[in-house]
Amino acid sequence: MIGRAGAGPPQRPANALRGEASLHVAGAERMLRPTFAALVAAEEELGSLFALVERAGEGHLRLGELATLFWHCLAEREGFSRDDVGEAVLALGLAGSAKPLRTILAQILQGRG
């Protein structure tokens, strides 16, 4: 893996009410923040986010789609690669990746209230 464990300033905890989640990547917890720009970038690569949510609900979300969504939602990407995110998803497995995925999908569907 690329990256420096613990590099950079400490991050504040993820706030699920804002649609944020965390993911352990390259030796440290990383913030997933589904901003408008991040979701637009994910949608440009993955297609409709509504279709993505439907696929997830039906159990048809692919591993690559999950890693891509997480990559675009990372608040900070410095010091590691997109492959590191894929490795993090693989290390967690689909069950372990479900929690941050649910948080992000809830943000896509419901907004910030």
Q: In this structure, is residue 64 part of a structural domain?
A: yes
Q: In this structure, is residue 7 part of a structural domain?
A: no
List C-alpha distances in Å: 41 to 4, 10, 26, 35, 68: 26, 26, 22, 10, 10
Q: In this structure, is residue 104 part of a structural domain?
A: yes
Q: In this structure, is residue 2 part of a structural domain?
A: no
Q: In this structure, is residue 43 part of a structural domain?
A: yes
pLDDT of residue 16: 74
Per-residue pLDDT 10s for the chain (113 aa) are 333 344 444 467 777 767 789 999 988 899 999 999 999 999 999 999 999 999 999 989 899 999 999 999 999 988 889 999 999 999 998 888 999 999 999 888 887 65
pLDDT of residue 6: 43
Q: In this structure, is residue 16 part of a structural domain?
A: no
pLDDT of residue 5: 40
CB 88 within 8 A of CB 23: yes
Q: In this structure, is residue 30 part of a structural domain?
A: yes
Give the separation between CA 22 and CA 79, rounded to whole angstroms. 17
Look up the pTM and report it.
0.84
CB 10 within 8 A of CB 75: no
Q: How many structural domains does the chain have?
A: 1
pLDDT of residue 15: 75
Q: In this structure, is residue 17 part of a structural domain?
A: no
Q: Return the ∠ at Cα 51 (arms to 80 and 103), rounded to 5°.
A: 55
Residue 85: which domain range? 22-110
